Amino acid sequence: MMQLITNPSPQEWETILKRPTQELKDIEATVEQIFAEVIQQGDEAVSKYTRLFDGVEVDHLLVSNEEVQEAEQLITSDLKEAIQLAKHNIETFHAAQKTSRVVVETQPGVKCWQEKRPIQKVGLYIPGGSAPLFSTVLMLALPAKIAGCKEIVLCTPPDKEGKIHPAILYTAQLCGITKICKAGGIQAIGAMTFGTASIPKVFKIFGPGNQYVTVAKQLATQYNVSIDMPAGPSELLVMADESAKPAFVASDLLSQAEHGADSQVILVSTSANLVGEVQTEIIRQLNELPRKEIATKAIKNSKIILLENKEDALNLINEYAPEHFIVCTNDNDFFIENIENAGSVFIGNYTPESAGDYASGTNHTLPTNGYAKQYSGVNLDAFTKSITFQEISPEGVHYIGKAVELMAEAEGLDAHKNAMSLRIESLK
C-alpha cells in the first residue's frame, strides 16, 4: 500500500520525494563497456547484447518491407482508426508550434534575424519490453517529420521471436519511417551514437526508457550526440481535494504504476476523507489489473502526502517537479497559474493522464526525476536548431563600428578591433 505521510516539514521533503532510482555508478560501467564494443564491433556487438538482454538471436537488424506489410494485416481496423485519430491530433498540435522568421533592425543598417532549421539526422528510441509503446512512435516521428528532419532512424527491441510488435511497425510506416532497427537498450543507444553497418549515426537521440537507457543517453552526450532530455522511469503526481472523484484519482495513480516497478506515483491532498477513499479504490482496482504485480511494486515506492493548505501543496509539487501533474481541486487556477516545474499538466476530473499519453495531441515524452525544473518535454523545437543571421550596411557600420572597436580594445583583442577599423576606414 502507498505510504501515508501527514504534514511533513519542508526540511523533510527532499527525503520524502526521493525517486526509487539506482545509483548512476552502478550502471555507467556497463554502459561504457557496451559502448566500447559497439565502437569496435558494430552490428556484431548489437546482436551480442540483444542475445544477452532480450534472449533472442536476430539475423538482420533492419526490419524488412515484408515484415511491415505483415504487421499491417495483424492490426485490427478499430486500432488503426484509433492510431489515425491520435496521429491527426498530434500533428495538429505540433504543426501549430511552427514559428516564422524573427527579423529585427537593432540599429539603422544593422539587420539581425533568426531562422529554424531541422536537425538532419535523428534517432528515435521506442521501448518494447513488457509494454510495446507504439504511441511513442507517434510522439517522436510526427514532430520530426513536421520539422523536416531528413533522416529518421527508429530503434526498438525485438520480442522473443525476433519480431517487432505489429502496432509499432504499423505506426512507424504510417508516420513515414523507413529505417526501423531491431535493437533495444544500451546497445541501441550506442549504435545510434557511433553508427554501425546497419544503424546510422545520428545527431540527436529521442525517446524514453529504463534507467539503463537513460544513463546510456546521458553518456552519449560525451560523444558529440545530443539528447532530448534525461527521461527515465515514469512518474505522476496528483493534487486532489474533496472535489475530486476518488475512483478517477486511483485509476490515474495506477495507470502510471503499471508502467514498471521503478515507476513512482504520489498523491498530494488537503482532504483526509479523499485520501481514505482513494486508498480503498486503489486496492479494489489493483486486484483487477493484468499488470497487478508490476503496479504493486511501484505502489510500494509511492506516497500519499496530506498537507494543511494549497500553498504548502504547491511548494512541495514545485520541489518534486513531476513528469505528469494532475490537478483536480476547488481552485485549479491557483495551481495552473503558479506551477513552475512540471512536464505536462492535466486539469480537472475528466482529464486523465492517459489522454495525453495517446490522443489529446500533446507530447508524452517528458522530463522525469526532477528534470522538469530545467527541461521541457519534447515539442517541435526539439527537432530544430535556431540559426542567427546578420547583415550590416555601411550605415550600420557608422552606428555600431566605434562601439565594436572600443569593446574589442578593452578586451585586448586587437585583431577583432582591426576587422571593424578597416571597414570604417574604407568608408571615409
Q: Note whether 190 and 251 are same-domain residues.
A: no
Share of residues in the chain with pLDDT > 70 (%): 99
Q: Note whether 59 and 196 are same-domain residues.
A: yes
Joined grid coordinates for residue 147: 520539422
Task: Give me the CATH number covering residue 223.
Answer: 3.40.50.1980
> What is the total count of domains within the chain?
3
Q: Report pLDDT digits (tens) over 118-143.
A: 999 999 999 986 678 999 999 999 99
Q: Note whether 205 and 242 are same-domain residues.
A: no
Name the strands in the sheet holding 264-269, side by side, starting at the edge strand that comes first in the sequence. 3-6, 303-306, 264-269, 235-240, 324-328, 344-347
Please, what is the Cα angle at 233 between 230 and 235, to 5 degrees?
105
- The pLDDT value recorded for residue 128 is 84
Q: Report pLDDT digits (tens) over 155-180.
A: 999 999 999 999 999 999 999 998 99
Please, what is the Cα angle at 312 between 311 and 315, to 5 degrees?
90
| Helices within 226-309 (DSSP H only) | 246-257, 272-286, 292-300
- Does any domain span residue 57? yes
Q: Note whether 78 and 192 are same-domain residues.
A: yes
Query: Distance (Å, rounded) from C-alpha 14 to C-alpha 354?
Result: 28
Q: Note whether 203 and 339 are same-domain residues.
A: no
Query: Distance (Å, rounded) from C-alpha 118 to C-alpha 144?
Result: 8
- The pLDDT value recorded for residue 23 is 65
- The pLDDT value recorded for residue 347 is 98
- Does any domain span residue 385? no
What's the whole-number average pLDDT of the chain? 95
Query: Distance (Å, rounded) from C-alpha 327 to C-alpha 320?
Result: 14
- The pLDDT value recorded for residue 132 is 85
Contact indicator for 296, 286 with CB cutoff of 8 Å: yes
Q: Report pLDDT digits (tens) over 275-327.
A: 999 999 999 999 999 999 999 988 888 999 999 999 999 999 999 999 999 99
- The pLDDT value recorded for residue 233 is 79
- Full residue range of the structural domain in which residue 252 is found: 3-21+233-361
Q: Note whether 14 and 31 are same-domain residues.
A: no
- Does any domain span residue 113? no
Last residue of a domain, one of 196, 230, 264: 230
- The pLDDT value recorded for residue 130 is 67
Q: Report pLDDT digits (tens) over 10-49.
A: 999 999 999 876 567 778 999 999 999 999 999 999 999 9
Query: Annotation-wise, does 287 bind a ligand?
Result: no
| Helices within 108-160 (DSSP H only) | 134-147
Residue 210's pLDDT band (cuts 50, 70, 90): confident
Tell whether pTM > 0.85: yes
- The pLDDT value recorded for residue 349 is 98
Q: Note whether 199 and 91 are same-domain residues.
A: yes
- The pLDDT value recorded for residue 22 is 59
Does the pLDDT at position 333 exceed 80?
A: yes
- The pLDDT value recorded for residue 25 is 75
- The pLDDT value recorded for residue 8 is 96
Give which of 261, 260, 242, 238 is closest to 251, Cα–Cα.
238
Query: Annotation-wise, does 210 bind a ligand?
Result: yes
Residue 231's pLDDT band (cuts 50, 70, 90): confident
Kindly list the catalytic residues.
323-324
Does the pLDDT at position 428 exceed 90?
A: no
- Does any domain span residue 379? no
Share of residues in the chain with pLDDT > 90 (%): 88
